[in-house]
Amino acid sequence: MISRYSTIFEGQRFGAWQVIEPLIRDEIPKKSLCRCDCGTVREVVTANLFNETSRSCGCLRHIHIATNNSSLKYKIAGKTLRLKEISELSGIPYSTLYNRVSYRKIDIKEACKMNGIDICELVERKYKYGCI
């Protein structure tokens, strides 16, 4: 009898997981080595991937909580801005900024510089001239 879980292959995506390698035991891949979008590599039960029980390593839950959290505020160029505002202003996706600031413990200004953006200059221009 062929299991539907035996059709898993490298590169297949399930939510934020991407299969690196199906770990085959007894001719059926019971677990798969997967990489999450945030970079975490972990063995995941193959059935949980197909049943959508496992969609990420947990980083999506943190991002969802943070999206609804208004306490993520930063003072830049004399103005207090929420992370969501910084994301919109800089054009950097919210999840990217959130991961850099919360998990990697990188300063918000450094997180923007990683994308080649001087956030202080953008904020000053917005509030001084009303445009970016």
Task: Give the pLDDT of residue 51.
Answer: 85
- The answer to whether 14 and 55 have CB atoms below 8 angstroms apart is yes
Task: Give the pLDDT of residue 91.
Answer: 85
- The answer to whether the pTM exceeds 0.75 is no
Q: Which residue reads 């019971």 in tokens?
A: 30
Task: Give the pLDDT of residue 62.
Answer: 57
- The answer to whether 87 and 121 have CB atoms below 8 angstroms apart is no
| Sites in the chain below the pLDDT cut of 70 | 1-6, 26-29, 60-72, 104, 129-132
Report the percent of the chain where pLDDT is more than 70: 77
